[in-house]
Amino acid sequence: MTDLAARARTLLDLHSAPEILVLANVWDVVSARVVAATDGVRALATASHSIAATFGYEDGENIPLALHLDMLELITSAVDLPVSLDMEAGYGDPGETTRLAIAAGAVGGNLEDQMKPLDEAVAAVEAVLRAGRDASIDFVLNARTDAFLLAPEGADRGELVAEAVRRGRAYLEAGAPVVFVPRLVDREEIAAVVEGLGRGKLSLISVPGASLPVRELQELGVARVSTGPFTQRVALTALQDATAELVAGGTLPPGTRALN
């Protein structure tokens, strides 16, 4: 088994382990190394929003794919853990983007459905998984449905749950190991989606001030929780707060650690 195939198998196994998989998203080499060196971290995931912002681009596939993949390769070369790439909607060709991501060292990835017609979204999922098989790895697809994220204001919550489950089941049937539902934070709605998909099949994002604690998500049967752009925002908040304190006549935080 190649090193890449072994990392892919490790990442896949982490999604079915009894413990919830926690992924603090990274965006460059130093953030990847800091997160990878943290006790309890077993895998890494990138955040497309954060990588784009690092280079001055808006989120939404505005960063050139080649530049995005260059950063991915720097990250995968700097750590020994499995790395999952946020592929957004696949940059127009999910299968080819997956092949390029694997060549850059990724063994998993997110793929947005953007609420496209379900048959089209399923075909994209299948293309990603086929690219993994072609590379002889178990590429771990975090198949994302935007049922909640793109819902109009005032949408019926029960209908949103039903649509997330409908799409999620289709992606699971196509071979995706987990289904990612951003903006799903309500306890009862999470429980309903878990019931519809099965325990250990739902992936969520932790939103500051809105999400349940990770331990409670595990109790509800959630398989995976990540942080998207929020870990970069945590870092930038600390940077701005420290700068403001210094400019105001103070000092840098005394508990600052030499992490680089």
CATH of the domain at 209: 3.20.20.60
Q: Could you say which DSSP state residue 213 is in?
A: P
In a domain, 8, yes or no: yes
pLDDT at 127: 98
In a domain, 132, yes or no: yes
Range of the domain at 57: 3-247
Identify which of 129, 98, 135 has the alpha carbon closest to the alpha carbon of residue 2.
Answer: 135
What residues does 144 pair with on adjacent strands?
112, 180
Block means of pLDDT (10 residues each) for the chain, 260 residues, are 93 97 98 98 98 98 98 98 98 98 98 98 98 98 98 96 98 98 98 98 98 98 98 98 98 96
Number of folded domains in the chain? Answer: 1
Identify which of 120, 103, 96 has the alpha carbon closest to the alpha carbon of residue 69.
Answer: 103
What residues does 45 pair with on adjacent strands?
84
Angstrom distances, CA of residue 127 to CA of 27, 43, 202: 26, 24, 21
pLDDT at 2: 87
In a domain, 156, yes or no: yes
In a domain, 209, yes or no: yes
In a domain, 255, yes or no: no
In a domain, 188, yes or no: yes
